[in-house]
Each structure stands twice: as structure tokens, then as C-alpha cells.
Amino acid sequence: MEKKVWKGILIAVGLAFFLLPIYWIIATSFKQWPDIFAIPPKFVFRGTLLNYMALFNIRLEEVAKFGQVGKSLFLPRFMNSVVIAGVSTLLSITLGTLTAYAFSRFKVKGEGDLLFFILSTRMLPPIVVGIPFFVLYRALSLLDTKIGLILLYMTFNLSFSVWLMKGFLDEIPKEYEEAALVDGYTRLEAFIKVILPQALSGIAATAVFCLITAWNEFFFALILTSEKARTAPPSIAAIQGSSGTNWGQIASGVTFFLIPVVVFTFLVKKYLARGLTFGVIKH
């Protein structure tokens, strides 16, 4: 009994640790200016949608007082994020799964070295390759294009998805596709009809990781884009003006920014439980 209580307390502390910042940012997005800075912090306050209106530049009288002019850029940039993160995730899990399948099922010459090489692309801190990428992208006219960021995020996530998917595919006994082969299917048909359905949980987990990485990426988005292809993270950061920071608007931007990842994660939740505990529980 006592053990149960302690377990409950531990879980509560853990949850508070992870959820409090999220609560804080969501609460702030609905607070009025003075409540944001109130000490002690206010847990009961009069809510407002002003911050969101400012974010999307819905021009009410009151919003105009904050001095924002022109059209809001948040929504198009948010859509840039959706397209870039979405497409790059799709590409990296597709290519990653196929690559991992080859490594998992066939004898590949220098398999260990190749896998290490694939992983090593992940070892440099991004800032080291920032300038080279800038120069390269300028030469290739990829600066400030969606395709430029999609290729970049896909490349970064590919190493991750190859390694993760190899683990998942290794776990699927090869007898399944061998059975499909003798049952009269080609290797590709066997892969699609037999292996893919069983790899879904692994693919879901990998996709969530890739999506989060691409979705949150800040540094390359900042240096490689300016107007057309700019994503949400640098836009939110840009709300910090030179004369004081509009925390309410930042909080509303962040809250809005959280929604797609949460939605996606819940959509694939069914597959995720096994995927995330992968390697922890051996059956």
C-alpha cells in the first residue's frame, strides 16, 4: 500500500516537472500584460484572446494600440513549417526504412563502416556546418527555398531513421518474407504486404522523432531562410523586439506551434506505445 503511495507521488513530481513549463506557456498566452509579470504568479486570472489576435493580426481597436502594422506573417510561416517538416519527415522515413531494410536483410559489403558513416553525419554540431551550408546553398540557389530546408532536414533525419528502423526491422523474423516469397510474391510485394504492416509501430515512433526534430529546428532555418521559406521558430523568436519583449504574443505563438506535434502524436498513439518502449521490453 505504502509503495503505491510513493509511486503516485513520484509520478506526480515527474509529471509536474515536464508539464509545468507547458502549462506556464499556455497560461501566459491567455494572460493580460500585467498578469504575466505578477509575483506571486497568478493561477486565477481573467483570460484574454488579445495575444492571439495580435499574432494573427486581427485588427481590433485594442490590438492596434500595440502598434503592430501590416499583415501578420505568422500564419504563412507556420504553414511553411507544416510543409517543410511534413515533407522532410515523409522522405526521411521512406528512404530510411528502405535503406534499413537493405541493411537488415542483405549482406552489404562494409555494412559496419557504412552504418557508422551514416551515423557520423549526426556527430557534428550544426553550427560547425552552418557557414559551409550557407555558401553551398547560395551557389545552388537553395537559399530561402522550401526544398532547400526539406533536403537538409531529410538528410539530418535520415541517419536517425536508418538506425532506428534497422532496429525495428531486425526484430521482425525474416521467415515472414521468406514465407511470402515461397507463397509466390516478389521481394517488393513481400516487403509491402508482410513487413510494412508489422513495422508500423516502428515507423510511427521514427516519424514522431523526425517530425519533432524538423519542426523545432531553429538554427538552419534562421540562417538559410529570410522571407519566403522562413519557418515558425525563427519567426517566434523575432517577436522579441528591441524595445521590450512581447511575452504574451510569444506565448501565443509557441502554444499554437505546439498543436500540430501534439495532434500527430495522438494520431499515431496506437502504434507508438510499442515503438517507444522498443528494446525495453523483450517478449
Partner 1 sequence: MEKVKVDNLYKSFGEVEAVKHINLSIEEGQFVVILGPSGCGKTTTLRMIAGLEQPTAGDIFVEGKKVTHLHASKRDIAFVFQSFALYPHMTVYQNISFPLEAQRLSRPEIKERVMNVVEFLGIEPLLSLKPKQLSSGDMQKVALGRAMVRRPKVFLMDEPLSGLDAKLREEMRAELKRLHIEINATTIYVTHDQIEAMSMADTIVVMNDGVIQQIGSPQQVYMEPENIFVANFIGSPGMNFLPLVYTGKNTLFRYGPDQEFSHPQLSFLTQIDQKEFILGIRPEYVQISPSGLMNGEIISVEPLGYKNVYAVELPGGIRFMVEDMRTEKYSGQVKLQINWKKACFFTKNDELRIKWSQKNG
- Pick between residue 180 and residue 236 the one whose CB is nearest to partner 1: 180
Binding-site member from 45, 56, 134, 176 for partner 1 (CB under 8 A): 176
Q: Is 184 in the site for partner 1 (CB under 8 A)?
A: yes
In 140-195, alpha helices (H): 146-171, 175-182, 187-190
The label of the residue with cell 546553398 reads 137
Q: Is 142 in the site for partner 1 (CB under 8 A)?
A: no
The tally of CA atoms less than 13 A away on the side-chain side of residue 255 is 20
Binding-site member from 94, 120, 121, 186 for partner 1 (CB under 8 A): 186
Helices (H) and strands (E) in the chain, counts: 15, 0
Kindly state the DSSP code that residue 58 receives in the 8-state scheme: -
Residues contacting residue 213 through CB under 8 Å, at least 6 positions apart? 153, 156, 157, 160
| SS3 at position 244 | coil
Q: Is 170 in the site for partner 1 (CB under 8 A)?
A: no
Q: Is 245 in the site for partner 1 (CB under 8 A)?
A: no
Q: Is 110 in the site for partner 1 (CB under 8 A)?
A: no
Q: Is 111 in the site for partner 1 (CB under 8 A)?
A: no
Binding-site member from 110, 112, 197, 244 for partner 1 (CB under 8 A): 197
- Pick between residue 101 and residue 220 the one whose CB is nearest to partner 1: 101
CA nearest to 228, candidates 85, 57, 76, 82: 76
- Minimum distance from residue 186 beta carbon to partner 1 (Å): 6
Choices 171-179, 218-226, 242-250, 253-261; region in contact with partner 1 by CB under 8 A: 171-179
DSSP states along 16-55: HHHHHHHHHHHHHHTS-HHHHT-SSPPSS-----HHHHHH
Q: Is 183 in the site for partner 1 (CB under 8 A)?
A: yes
Q: Is 182 in the site for partner 1 (CB under 8 A)?
A: yes
Choices 39-47, 131-139, 180-188, 226-234; region in contact with partner 1 by CB under 8 A: 180-188
Helix (H) or strand (E) holding 132: helix 126-139
Q: Is 178 in the site for partner 1 (CB under 8 A)?
A: yes
- Rounded Cα distance between 40 and 253, Å, is 24
Q: Is 179 in the site for partner 1 (CB under 8 A)?
A: yes
Q: Is 27 in the site for partner 1 (CB under 8 A)?
A: no
List interacting residues with partner 1 (CB under 8 A).
Answer: 173, 175-176, 178-186, 189, 194, 197-198
